[in-house]
Amino acid sequence: MFNVTILGFNQAYASAITGALDLFALAGVTWQRMQGISPTPYFNVQIATIKKQPLRCINQLEIRSHIAIEDVKQTDLLLIPTIGGSLLNVLADNQALLPHIKRHFDLGADIASNCSGAFFLAEAGLLNGKEATTHWGYAELFRKRYPEVKLCAEKLITSQQNIYCAGGGMAWFDLALLLIERYCGHDVASTTAKAHVIDLSRGQQAAYASIRAKKYHQDPEVLLVQEWLEANYVKPIQISQLPNLVNLTSRTLNRRFKQATEQNPLEYLQNLRIEAAKKLLEKSHDNAQRIVNHVGYDDLSSFTRLFKKHTGLSPSQYAKKFKR
């Protein structure tokens, strides 16, 4: 059996702890019982905390620890759940966990984080120079705090060497199934997913993220262009005409726009149209061609490629998944 240690701390998501514990503990068990086959559990799962203290989750559920993290000499997998409370406060209160995370990494364990749990890995220095993901809502803070990490916030899961990160707050089941497949093979992961009625692979988290207007800057000309684009994105727009709005050269506007928003004007316009299309796909009964026309495009096929690049889904797939 493989040893899985779930690292516990106050203000964690309870589901990222108990849900992952259930999936690992029931791999090789639930499906077999349904089929009348003798169960074969594959994982020994335990919750570990500093000094074996109980932990109080963000929903006020108190969970007892199985073991002190100081007493865990070896584990095959160390899993860090979602931070549910104030990120910086939880990190500050749990600095004592970092040496244990690094210790098990040095011993060769797989290290995995869910959602904002990636902040612990970055805080421990384990993600420097590596790809990682976290919840899209924390991406900006993550990039500023850990510039040496190659953050891929659009990805639901990243893996590099023996470090795994999952993006969304409830992405723990995607992460757990991936790791079950790593240890036990595709068949065990597949039957575990079937037994719990879970999609084996969901792809990207970009489809779940609102493309937020990046206006937290102090450049008035860029802000004026942003507001003009937001008011006119449904019309035919020539990007080359934008500098005339603020009496800047094209080169100067592009440089300042990129510096202020991390996007060039064309990318910003595309994102506005994609966000508008997402909202229409969620609530409108119009067909895809009409929706594409409503957001300023004529060519359905080219917009479909752009939409899929940003969200990981085609417009029809997005509508099927998110229509209200």
Burial bucket for residue 139 (CB in 10 Å: 0-12, 13-18, 19+): middle
CA distance 15 to 59: 10
Is 287 in the same domain as 234? Answer: yes
What CATH number does residue 231 fall under?
Answer: 1.10.10.60
The number of distinct structural domains making up the chain is: 2
pLDDT band at 207 (very low <50, low <70, confident <90, very high): low
Amino acid 282: pLDDT: 85
* Whether the predicted pLDDT of 211 surpasses 60: no
DSSP 132: E
Apex 301 CA angle, 295 and 237, nearest 5: 35
| Structural domain includes residue 110 | yes
Is 194 in the same domain as 51? Answer: yes
Question: Which pTM was predicted?
Answer: 0.75
Is 192 in the same domain as 264? Answer: no
Amino acid 210: pLDDT: 59
Contact 318, 278 (CB under 8 A): yes
Amino acid 204: pLDDT: 67
Bigger pLDDT: 74 vs 216: 74
Burial bucket for residue 24 (CB in 10 Å: 0-12, 13-18, 19+): buried
* Whether the predicted pLDDT of 213 surpasses 60: no
Name the residue among 205, 207, 218, 223 with its Cα closest to residue 268. 223
Name the token pair of 213.
């207007």
From residue 305, alpha-carbon distances to 86, 208, 297, 308 in Å are 38, 18, 12, 5
Is 202 in the same domain as 263? Answer: no
* Whether the predicted pLDDT of 8 surpasses 90: yes
| Structural domain includes residue 123 | yes
| Structural domain includes residue 214 | no
Is 274 in the same domain as 175? Answer: no
| Structural domain includes residue 211 | no
| Structural domain includes residue 212 | no
pLDDT digits (tens, 9 = 90+) for 10-25: 999 999 999 999 999 9
Amino acid 214: pLDDT: 66
Mean pLDDT, residues 56-84: 96
Mean pLDDT, residues 154-183: 88
Q: Which residue has the tokens 């990039």?
A: 143
Name the token pair of 202.
């969901």
| Structural domain includes residue 12 | yes
Amino acid 155: pLDDT: 86
| Structural domain includes residue 215 | no
* Whether the predicted pLDDT of 201 surpasses 70: no
Q: Which of residues 141, 172, 206 is at a domain's end?
A: 206
Domain that holds residue 158: 2-206
pLDDT digits (tens, 9 = 90+) for 218-247: 889 999 999 999 999 999 999 999 999 999
What CATH number does residue 111 fall under?
Answer: 3.40.50.880
Is 123 in the same domain as 31? Answer: yes
- Give the least confident one: 46-50, 120-124, 191-195: 191-195
Name the token pair of 286.
């119009």
Residue type, 258: K
Is 249 in the same domain as 285? Answer: yes
